[in-house]
Amino acid sequence: MKGIRLKNGEWRPSYACTYSPLFQWPIRPLKIIQWLFGYPGYLWPLHLMYTALAFVTWYFLQPDLSQTASLQIRWIIFMFLRNMGFIWLVFGGFHLLLYTLKLHGTEQKYNPKWQAVEAKRFLFNNQVYDNIFRTCVSGCAVWTAYEVLYILLLSRGLLPFLAFRKNPVWFILFFFLIPIWREVHFYLTHRLLHWKPLMKRIHSVHHWNANPGPWSGMAMHPLEHILYLSVVLVHFIVPSHPVHFFFNSQLTALTPANGHTGFEGPLFKGWLPSGSYFHYLHHRYVSCNFGETTVPLDRWFGRFYDGTGKYEFKAKAFH
């Protein structure tokens, strides 16, 4: 991966941030196909991996609906511990490779500094400990609470259901549409969180991580966890299958680790997709790039910064 190290020590990729070809005009079919099926691309590896994880979760790691029609601490704790295991596998795995063992050094690391210690703004005066605590305590609890509510209502037959045999086209299409819904939901809630009163009291907790690491992805105020993870409420209204719900839920809860590694990917000679310079610029400058890179919402609403040239948007204070 080509890039340059600026005078202030910041690493910048050699290309400007851009959006997927999906919403570009004129339509370029070959570019869209490459974006869909390339590596790393829209489908492979992340979305296909999380699709597989959703199926594994529903069919092998989820208590039977006959057991979940009433609130019982046993199956709720099981779901909480399952999710905690996923968190440590994904967030902890990235942190182990990149920050504990430092197997990639600072190559392709946007900010050459490591995570903050003796920093009073963080719990325990330590950025990593703060991020782990917020992710595992508040983040995992809210994530599991949404899943428990969904399973409870599903067990009682109170939610709309979509079976593969009745509508296979929509069943498959939802796996393509859910990530787009997630981007739209994230953009709208993220812009709301940058409203000054919410920014100062809630979203500032996440933005303390100007130099993010994997655990920073879900290091949020509890109220932000509730808002951020509310993306799954669509399944309480729109007919869908539990694998769609878990696909959405797990993408939302776990992929922030990838987007907050602080490194430009793919890493380790191209086999580990990670990092998002687009989102790093949001942490760096605060007032740009509120969304993600499939749907060009920031471009449509005039808040897109590609990382080149002088930064012109006025940042809002939040400290």
Per-residue buried b or exposed e for 273-286, using 16+ beta carbons within 10 Å of the residue's own CB: bbbbbbbbbbbbbb
Would you state the pLDDT for residue 275? Answer: 87
H or E segment to which residue 8 belongs: none
Alpha-carbon distance of 317 to 200, in angstroms, equals 8
Give how many domains the chain has, as a whole number: 1
What is the number of H-type helices and E-type strands within the chain? 13, 2
Would you state the pLDDT for residue 281? Answer: 96
Would you state the pLDDT for residue 226? Answer: 98
**Does residue 23 sit within a domain?**
no
Q: Which domain holds residue 70?
A: 42-300
Would you state the pLDDT for residue 157? Answer: 97
**Does residue 307 sit within a domain?**
no
Question: Is the alpha carbon torsion for 126, 275, 146, 88 positive or negative?
Answer: negative
Would you state the pLDDT for residue 171? Answer: 98
- Only one residue has tokens 């539990």, namely 242
Alpha-carbon distance of 291 to 184, in angstroms, equals 8
Alpha-carbon distance of 241 to 175, in angstroms, equals 11
Ranges under pLDDT 50 in the chain: 316-319
**Does residue 19 sit within a domain?**
no
Read off the pLDDT of residues 259-278 as tens digits, 9 standing for 90 and up: 999 999 889 988 888 889 99
**Does residue 55 sit within a domain?**
yes
Would you state the pLDDT for residue 314? Answer: 66
**Does residue 189 sit within a domain?**
yes
Would you state the pLDDT for residue 1? Answer: 57
Q: Report yes or no on whether pTM surpasses 0.75.
A: yes
Instruction: Return the C-alpha torsion angle 293, 295, 299, 302, nearest 10.
Output: -110
- C-alpha 297 chain-centroid distance: 17
Would you state the pLDDT for residue 317? Answer: 41
**Does residue 244 sit within a domain?**
yes
Contacting residues for 195 by C-beta, under 8 A, at least 6 apart: none
DSSP states of 47-114 as a string?
A: HHHHHHHHHHHHHHSS--GGGSSS--HHHHHHHHHHHHHHHHHHHHHHHIIIIIS-TTTTTTBSSSS-
- Only one residue has tokens 């202030």, namely 8
CA distances from 39 to 48, 104, 109, 222, 271 (A): 12, 20, 21, 35, 9
